[in-house]
A and B are shown apart, each in its own frame.
Chain A
Amino acid sequence: MAEEVVLLDFWPSLFGMRSRIALAEKGIKYEYKEEDLRNKSALLLQMNPVHKKIPVLIHNGKPVCESLIQVQYIDEVWHDKAPLLPSDPYQKATVRFWADYIDKKIYDLGSRVWKTKGEEQATAKKEFIESLKLIEKELGDKPYFGGESFGYVDVAFIPFYSWFYAYEKCGNFSIEAECPKLIAWAKRCMQKESVAKSLPDQQKVYDFILQMKKHFGIE
């Protein structure tokens, strides 16, 4: 029986991008379905009744929700090509820790940068830069977070690069000035077809954010 893989997604979603990249790394053919989040499809509501969120990976009719869970699932099922997680348990724990940090800290702080203004935004910007510096420290002098090869933390974090321009314009700062190694890493990742094809254009993301700000009545 042929494998049937469907991804319910939304083009600017940082989380959806992770699954796109993982699927591309493994060379898996899948059907991409764009969701209108103001008018969620019956399929989305059926496949993710608990959270009603994208991305949803549907493999042979069975849904997997939550992007990092999807990436681990993809890595475990299609394990013979482009391994994303290390095999050593301690290294696995380390990459899981940093991917989780990206979700717990970096995502929320980044959101606050574009969603707020004034004093609140200044604080968010400071904390956001601190969190980027911490993850830059974790990268160190390695070409990728995964060492010599592109891995789990790279997949988890590279989608944010497509949002950097939007964060910078909204917060009026330069990420490259603060974290040059991160930008060098990001550009290295963008050389990979799996990444370049999965990330939207930064200007397009910024235009989307401006629309969102208008919609939420933020400045």
Chain B
Amino acid sequence: MAESNVKVLGTWASPFVMRVKIALHLKSVRYEDVEEDLLAPKSELLLKSNPVYKKIPVFFHAHNPICESLIILQYIDEVWTTSASSILPSDPYERSQSRFWAAYVDDKFFPALRRLLIGATEEDKKAALAEVVGGTVVLEGAFGELSKGKAFFGGDNIGFVDIALGSLLGWIEVIGKQCETKLVSEAKTPRLVQWADCFSAHEAVKDVLPDVDKLADFGLKLRAKILKALAPTN
């Protein structure tokens, strides 16, 4: 069903934007896709709608802007309620577990992944790699707990944690190739490997995850931009 006044301000390469699109696909909500160029100065719309962080994604519903991807996901889940496509579980304890693991992805796993991408020295990269691989092992354990033998963290269907972690799969592959390591490996995390395949093939996901070569190319440009910004000026 077409929804007016539903807009996503973001970019094809951002995993945080991908989360929002996956959630909307899951709920069969049509939206306007507004592309922000991360390599160019920030747009007026972005600066106006997210004055606090000036970051994408920004989700618009009936002209109300909502920021922070995990907050957006919960909003989408609460507005478009069909039990068939519930993003968070209904039980409060299970909800707290889903929130915990999504927060782990954002607060621990993603920063380590980012450090691995932009690591300037071999030492930085080595430390970041150990953290990322350690993180995948922790997430393998979480998968065991949450999935209860089913295909996804969310059980029979994809849920909050699947979307939070799954949106990073493109970058995980790109960064892994750069380091010549499989970050999600069969040896250490067999269940996650299987989960990654199921997630990527899901109806709501497959058109959202970007082409890995295109992402790799973008990754090089983004890394250069970040390192230039971090470099001390004389």
Contact = CB atoms under 8 A, between A and B. Distances in A.
A66 B101 CA distance: 11
A64 B93 contact: yes
A134 B74 contact: no
20 contacts: A50-B104, A64-B100, A66-B99, A66-B103, A69-B96, A69-B99, A69-B100, A70-B96, A73-B92, A76-B92, A90-B64, A90-B75, A93-B75, A96-B71, A96-B74, A97-B66, A97-B68, A97-B71, A100-B68, A134-B52
Interface string B67-95: 11001101100110000000000001101
Interface residues on A, range: 20 to 34
A76 B98 CA distance: 14
Contacts, number: 52
Contacts of A64: 93, 96, 100
Contacts of B72: 93
Interface string A88-107: 01101100110011000000
B116 to A, nearest CB: 20
Nearest to A79: B92
Residue of B72, B79, B92, B138 with highest tally of chain A CB at under 10 A = B92
A126 to B, nearest CB: 17
B75 A89 contact: yes
A66 B107 CA distance: 11
A92 B92 contact: no
Interface residues of B, number: 21
A65 B138 CA distance: 16
Give the dominant DSSP class at A's interface: helix
B90 to A, nearest CB: 10
Contacts of A69: 96, 99-100, 103
A2 interface: no
Nearest to A77: B92
Nearest to B81: A89
Contacts of B92: 73, 76-77
A65 to B, nearest CB: 6
A59 B97 CA distance: 13
Nearest to A70: B96
Give the dominant DSSP class at B's interface: helix
A134 B51 CA distance: 11
A92 B93 contact: no
A62 interface: yes
Given A89-B78, A93-B72, A101 B52 contact: yes
A72 B99 CA distance: 10
A89 B79 contact: yes
A65 B67 CA distance: 24
A92 B75 contact: yes
B100 A93 contact: no
A50 B93 CA distance: 17
A179 B148 CA distance: 50
Contacts of A72: 95-96, 99
Contacts of A76: 92, 95
Contact of A93 (B71, B95, B96, B103): B71
Nearest to A76: B92
B95 A73 contact: yes
Nearest to A103: B107
A112 B39 CA distance: 31
Contacts of A73: 92-93, 95-96
Contacts of B96: 64, 69-70, 72-73
A90 B63 CA distance: 11
A92 B61 CA distance: 14
B164 to A, nearest CB: 14
A203 to B, nearest CB: 32
Nearest to B90: A76
Interface in B149-192: none
A73 B96 CA distance: 6
A100 B72 CA distance: 13
A93 B93 contact: no
